Structure 1
Amino acid sequence: MGGVTSSIAAKFAFFPPTPASYVVVADESCGGRLYIPEVPRRDDVDVLKLRTRRGNEIVAVHVKHPKATATLLYSHGNAADLGQMFELFVELSLRLRINLMGYDYSGYGQSTGKPSECNTYADIDAVYKCLKEQYGVKDEQLILYGQSVGSGPTIDLASRVSNLRGVVLHSPILSGLRVLYPVKRTYWFDIYKNIDKIGMVRCPVLVIHGTADEVVDCSHGKQLWELCQEKYEPLWLSGGGHCNLELYPEFIKHLKKFVLTIGKSKAATNGSKKTAVDSDSQSKTSESGTSDAFELSTDLPEASRNSLDSRLEKSKKTNKPEKSRMSTDHVDRFRRRKGLVW
């Protein structure tokens, strides 16, 4: 029965970019260190190959920030791979002052194997294990970030780890089948049953969703937020679609505030579990204070193109988001060709 479930899931859930947008090369002059020729080479980025418990070898990138006090584990959406997501990962690391680990699911990019629900759970577990064993990341320093279909492995891992710093759900799904049909119950062949797992997540959860999302209706994000044990002030982006939320000024501002707030909460409680996040105290965090806290230091490498904040300033002047150079450009074209992908 498990094989039938995986077969059904693969037919409507996974759309890895074909061909992959990148390759992985070993530099023998640097002791065989791996790098991706298609993206800017950086000393603060490690390219890794990790073996999963299901026998696949997945590719991951670890972006380091010299002043990081948290690590974000990013599970990307459908129809994307690390080559397309790389600049976004570097940008988020710089702007949020965090370390960031992103990875490709089995069958995506240069990761071996085939895409399946079970494989994505094994994939994120391998990345989580690497963060703990190779980089010394503690659970209370870890923020899980799941975009769209990436909300599946993110919520699954979060439901099994009790002391995470936080979880971000970006355009999340209630379940695979619920993206396609307005079903009221969970069927055995459904995948990514987030609706049944979110109540087991025991850390602050931020939900970000566009109100005009044509792929995963905003009601998915709102229902998941209602079911959270520890709710953080959500962000419903008016007019936001499925692939363009990073373009909105509110996106990075709210994400910065979340990272700062849960960091202060964790420090104030000395790592003890909070039972609630005070929305009033969140709203009192000034925008100017948050911006100052995340201002880039002069000794950091510059982003390869215009920074996210500079784009946001342009967006304020025009009152509408400009075209992004982030992860969405290549993905949008693929999504339009494929139709329904999440």
Structure 2
Amino acid sequence: MKILKRIAVAVVVFLVIAYLGVLVAVYALQRDLQYFPNGEITPLEELSLARAQTIRIQVGDGEVVNGWYAPPQSGMPVIVYYKGNYGSFSAEHERFAAWLDEGYGFVAFDYRGFPLSPGAISEDAILSDSVEVFDWAREQGGSDLMIWGRSLGTGPATYVASLRDAEALLLETPFLSAVQVAAERYPFLPVHWLMQDQFPSNQWISDVEEPVLVAHGTADTTIDVSNGRRLYDLAPNPDELWIAEGADHSGLWDVGLWEQAREFFARY
């Protein structure tokens, strides 16, 4: 019996030490686990995006972010686009082409640490970059601004909308908060204590005065659709909750998101 007790104690000690080791590793490597910035850059000169030009916007302490800007046709708004977590915004040029064809302008960019913009990734940097880009778009003059955030970009989109005045806010596959998604994915880890970049959209949205459209798919395995529903319920000025049956995290554009967005923007 003594031998069995010693073995049991040894096993428990080993498991505790192993678990603590996992916590230390997760804390130390968390941004490598949270962000996926690698991806190919699509050069603007290889595309047929009328009116679009490359831009370089100063952010932070002398750093810069790089992106594309296209002015709108007369009387049309500009879409300020906040990209998701993978690769470069330039991979989403199909969207930009559709917007330009309808007369919209747009500004899109890579956060610091993503392919086109040098620097280190963090929540603070992403939020700062996002505010600076919005302010830059406002300085271009005259046009109404529509904010569109996708996935990770729904965090900074909500944050910017809570601080600045735009005509409307569209959130594509949003999270309630990034830490909520982590808790759903890793229920065995105390992520609320460990996670530095929590993106609390559920808090920011209480200060959003703009009308809000939330779009989500029922087959989203990256950010569960319940996140979108709950965030929409918190919006002070909800306009539309568009749930696409069977659509996954990357599938909303292909099942009619732009048609929904166009009608939403036209209302404002």
Q: Give the TM-score band, short-chain normalised.
A: 0.7 to 0.9
The residue that corresponds to 1:189 in the other structure is 196
Relative to structure 1, the CA distance from residue 258 to residue 145 in structure 2 (aligned partners, 3 Å threshold; closer, same or farther) is same
Asked whether the 8 Å contact 1:22–1:110 carries over to 2, the reply is: no
Q: Which of 126, 150, 153 does residue 150 from structure 1 map onto?
A: 153
The residue that corresponds to 2:124 in the other structure is 118
| 2-structure distance, mates of 1:151, 1:60 | 18
Mark the structure with the bigger radius of gyration: 2
Corresponding letter in the other structure for 2:36: F
1:221 aligns with 2:221: no
The residue that corresponds to 1:21 in the other structure is 41
What residue ranges of structure 1 are gaps of 5+ in the alignment?
A: 24-35, 263-342
Corresponding letter in the other structure for 2:163: R
5 Å matches for 1:80-91? 80-91=87-98
Corresponding letter in the other structure for 2:258: I
Identical columns (%): 23
Corresponding letter in the other structure for 1:143: M
| 2-structure distance, mates of 1:99, 1:217 | 31
CA distances 1:23-63 after superposition (whole Å, capped 9, x unpaired)? 6xxxxxxxxxxxx34x3255501211111024321111112
1:108 aligns with 2:108: no
The residue that corresponds to 2:261 in the other structure is 255
Choose between structure 1 and 2 for higher RCO, CA contacts under 8 A separated by at least 6 residues. Answer: 1
The residue that corresponds to 2:176 in the other structure is 174
| 2-structure distance, mates of 1:41, 1:69 | 20
Q: Secondary structure at the match of 2:106?
A: strand
Asked whether the 8 Å contact 2:67–2:116 carries over to 1, the reply is: no
What residue ranges of structure 2 are gaps of 5+ in the alignment?
A: 1-25
Asked whether the 8 Å contact 2:50–2:100 carries over to 1, the reply is: no
The residue that corresponds to 1:211 in the other structure is 218
Relative to structure 1, the CA distance from residue 110 to residue 77 in structure 2 (aligned partners, 3 Å threshold; closer, same or farther) is same
Question: What TM-score, normalized by structure 1, do the two folds share?
Answer: 0.64
Asked whether the 8 Å contact 2:122–2:197 carries over to 1, the reply is: no
The residue that corresponds to 2:9 in the other structure is none
Q: Secondary structure at the match of 2:240?
A: coil
Q: Which of 127, 138, 141 does residue 136 from structure 1 map onto?
A: 141
Q: Secondary structure at the match of 2:253?
A: helix
The residue that corresponds to 1:240 in the other structure is 247
The residue that corresponds to 1:56 in the other structure is 63
Moved over 4 A (4+): 5-9, 183-188
| 1-structure distance, mates of 2:214, 2:66 | 27
RMSD: 2.4
Query: Number of residue pairs matched?
Result: 238
Question: What TM-score, normalized by structure 2, do the two folds share?
Answer: 0.81
